[in-house]
Structures are given as structure tokens and as C-alpha cells.
Amino acid sequence: MAHAYSVQAVDRLLRNLTRTNALFGGKVVILGGDFHQTLPVVCQATRSGIVGACLKSSTLWPHFQVLQLVQNMRAGMEEQAFAAWLLELGNGQLPQSEDGLIELPMGCLEQGDLINAVFERTLWGEESLSGCAILSLKNAKSLVVNEAILALLSGITRLFCLECG
């Protein structure tokens, strides 16, 4: 999600370019995105600081007309139940435990070896691995996954470190 300041900067830029005080210089601006997905990144901010940086917290927000998609176009006919569950998750409508945890459907859980399920076909050449990334909430977890993947590869492992000089 865009930081509110970036959208406000576009508003000021268009006002300056068109020499008018109308919102966005009187131009039609269309923004697309999914507010369920990501919050803006604000270094060392508190939760309230991050929420305050959201476009929905901006003074511009009341001037937007929000159009909502009501059908998941990526989900096939056999995935409609999952698409409905995903929408409920994004809208905060799923039941939570006392700890605030949400139970995942069994179809969302990898029953076997996750690394082999994800990387099984790509572990055979440098070219295919060059387009891969390990995404994790914590650096420590991504390092564990990286080590497990490196153990599956043949050849000499080389470590390149930016800080090693």
C-alpha cells in the first residue's frame, strides 16, 4: 500500500502543474490495490504510526470513490470455497482463538516437506534458481530455509558478504 505522503505528493504536484487548487489538479486519478495485503513500511514506527501512514488515514481519503471487486478472478470454479474463505480472512470476519490465532483449512497446509514441494523442480540449475527468493517474516527463519536449500545443492558453496569488505 502506498504511504499517504506519496499520494499527497502527487496531489500537490498535479496542483502545481495545472496551477489550480482542485484535488489532483482537477485530474481523474485511479488507484488500484488490495488493502488486505500490505501496510506501508514506516521505519521504527509504532502500530498507530503505521496505521496513520495509510492512505485511508489521509485527509484525501474522503474524496476517493471506492469501487470494490466482489469476485476473485484468479480462483477457478473448484477454488470458490477457498476464495470465500480468503475474503473473510481479509475482512477480519474469521473466528479467532483467545490468542488471536486463526485456524487454517487443511488444504492450505503442506503435509510433506515444504522445501521440496516448492523448490523440487528448480534445484537443478543456477539459471532457474536466479529467479527465486525466500520470503520470511524474520531474517532468522529465512536463513534456516536457505541453509536447508543449500544442503540440497551439489557443488561448492560460496558466501558473499557485503560487510566482509
pLDDT tens figures, 65-88: 988 777 777 777 778 888 888 888
User: Cell triple for residue 93?
Assistant: 470476519
Q: Which domain holds residue 124?
A: 110-154
What are the tens digits of pLDDT across the range 32-71? Answer: 877 767 788 888 999 899 889 988 889 999 999 988 777 7
Closest by CA position to 152, among listed 126, 123, 118, 113: 123
Whether 120 is in a domain gets the answer: yes
Whether 165 is in a domain gets the answer: no
Whether 125 is in a domain gets the answer: yes
Whether 131 is in a domain gets the answer: yes
Whether 148 is in a domain gets the answer: yes
CA gap 99, 62 in Å, rounded: 34
Whether 90 is in a domain gets the answer: no
Whether 127 is in a domain gets the answer: yes
Per the structure, the count of domains in the chain is 2
Find out whether 147 and 140 touch, Cβ atoms under 8 Å: no
Find out whether 50 and 40 touch, Cβ atoms under 8 Å: yes
Identify the pLDDT of residue 136: 79
Comparison of pLDDT for 144 and 124, the residue scoring more: 144
- 82 by Cβ neighbours in 10 Å (0-12 / 13-18 / 19+) ranks as middle
Which of 44, 63, 82 lies at the terminal end of a domain, its last residue?
63
Q: Does the pTM of the predicted model rise above 0.95? A: no
